[in-house]
Structure 1
């Protein structure tokens, strides 16, 4: 591969930066904090809501804007630079049916995380960073809440995928829907992906996409990886992600991210 000038590293969190348990290995924190001293710009592009990214951003002392909600928001600290909210109104009957059959129905505003019901998945995640308010929207809220992402988790409920997925099919033209096999799916405003989030990040920082290194592992990372100057898949990535990438690391997860950073030429950062 021809060496390219890289000025920004944009990394997915779950399955990429974080270990399989969703944690950042403590022995790697100093490495990522040290990137700033080496004048290497590093940031996060995640499907997570802002609330579930903040602790990692603080631990790594990230000062650059980050992408949340699979491209649905560009933010830094408590400031949101861009957001792509939508109404849940047209999806109400699908979400209520999903909850009725036992799937976990999650919905997020910029600063809040909700679940329609308490499920085994919600109980399992108690005590983690994933804290949800159990809430059934009023009829006005179904229409008026500014939602940045909906997530349906059904791997804990056998047969739920086969019921829910056909119900979502008519909405393909109205929303961006990311499916993760028969385990879960995420719904964003139409046209919103991590690639659009990366473009927003590029525009905000004035760093061209051609000078961004993007690293990921799952299908929602594919467009971002293809769009970046260099797209990298960690070794534990899905096969279709590896096919889309310019390079596949030998190591997995956090160590794969470090491998990619050290492998590709990093120039001094333009953006402070």
Structure 2
């Protein structure tokens, strides 16, 4: 089965202009299937040969992003070639020897309010700080659960136990997670929002987590800022000048969950993989017939077909 698509449509005209692809990670390109990882890696290589640049936008930390997409990047034998969005847009970083392009931090008062909400709802908290030390990111994650002090978090980062939050330096907090314990019924996002200031944004990217950032943090806004940052780098460094023609309207964004909606809406072409939430499918320009990594490959093969850089659609 392939995507139903009219090559003479306005969408095809938009796809012809695409020169940059940004992809969510969890639920969009990740898969436990090594064959799918290989297919994703191969299609990213074809994008590069077609002069289409690509990157990732994720709710994960920088360390978590690299750990999660390691198989895809190693199979392709190529490093991430463009800046990437982490913490749902709170941090944009330049790969290689990672350096920070931009950060948005949550105020101490708002962090305390989120932590108080977690205590009231009995939801364990994880607080992520990301400081730029001479331009290089320094990431830490704190937990208020003593038993986790010797564990790794979902980003494969070691937890730091916060016995007393008042003793923790929260000035560089970029994200807070509240975790829904197994067996607990979901808490509606609106109930959480009501207890917090308008300066805080709460969303979900799947799994048992509620994710908090500043109200002006989102993947869509970060996409716009990242492209502006790329243009600034291109003006200063010759190596980045090859990205000078990238624009929001020439970007394809691929995602699956609530935290991807504004990125999909902002991009010139928005794609939802078939396992996406209904809210995401409703605003996407294109919905794949296949889920997660296979769906991303399906959309990217279609992009290359439209741009006439590969043979007609083949079965994934």
Task: Give the shorter-chain TM-score range.
Answer: 0.7 to 0.9
Partner of 1:199: 224
Tell whether 2:215 aligns with 1:190: yes
Higher mean Cα deviation, 66-75 or 26-35?
Answer: 26-35
Q: 2:19, 2:52 within 8 Å by CA — same for their partners in 1?
A: yes
Quote the offset at 1:44 in angstroms: 0.2
Aligned: 1:76 with 2:103: no
What is the rounded CA distance, in whole Å, between the counterparts of 1:182 and 1:36 in structure 2?
32
**Distance in 2 of aligned mates of 1:253 and 1:198:** 21
* Change in CA separation of 1:176 and 1:205 when aligned onto 2, cut-off 3 Å: same
Distance in 1 (alpha carbons) for counterparts of 2:37 and 2:207: 32
Match of 1:32 among 44, 47, 71: 44
Q: Deviations over 1:119-161 (max 9, x none)?
A: 6xx69x859753331321552536x431111111114252573
- Correspondence for 2:270: 231
Compared CA separation, residues 93 and 38, structure 1 to 2 (3 A): closer
* Aligned twin of 1:10: 22
CA distance in 2, matches of 1:139, 1:105: 14
Q: 1:128–1:45: structure 2 CA closer, same or farther, 3 Å change rule? A: closer
Q: Which region of structure 1 is more displaced relative to structure 2, 190-199 or 210-219? A: 190-199
Q: 1:92 aligns with which of 112, 117, 123?
A: 112
Matched-pair contact (CA < 8 Å) for 2:140–2:160: no
Question: Which deviates further from its counterpart, 236-245 or 253-262?
Answer: 253-262
Cα pair distance change 1:156/1:102, threshold 3 Å: farther
Q: 1:37 to 1:118 in 2, by over 3 A?
A: farther
Q: Counterpart of 2:82 in 1: which secondary structure? A: coil
Distance change >3 Å, CA 181–CA 255, structure 1 → 2: closer
86, 107, 118: which one aligns with 2:127:
107
1:95, 1:105 within 8 Å by CA — same for their partners in 2? yes
The yes-or-no answer on 1:116 pairing with 2:144 is: yes
| SS state at 2:85 partner | strand
| 1:262/1:117 CA distance change after superposition, 3 Å | same
After superposition, the CA RMSD in angstroms is 3.1
- Equivalent residue number for residue 174 of structure 2: 148
Q: Deviations over 1:8-35 (max 9, x none)?
A: 000000110112x598944233433443
5+ residue gaps, structure 1, are: none
State the TM-score, normalized to the length of structure 1. 0.83
Q: Deviations over 1:194-251 (max 9, x none)?
A: 1111111221234221100000000111111111000000011000100000010111
Query: Do the aligned partners of 2:21 and 2:53 also contact (CA within 8 Å) in 1?
Result: yes
1:253, 1:150 → 2: CA distance?
26
The 2-side partners of 1:167 and 1:173 are apart by: 12
Mapped to 2, the partners of 1:266 and 1:54 lie a distance apart of: 30
What is the deviation of 1:171?
A: 1.5
Q: TM-score, normalised by structure 2?
A: 0.72
Structure 1 residues 127 and 244 mapped into 2: Cα distance closer, same or farther (>3 Å)?
A: closer
Q: How many residues align?
A: 262
Runs of 5+ unmatched residues, structure 2: 1-8, 131-138, 232-245, 310-316
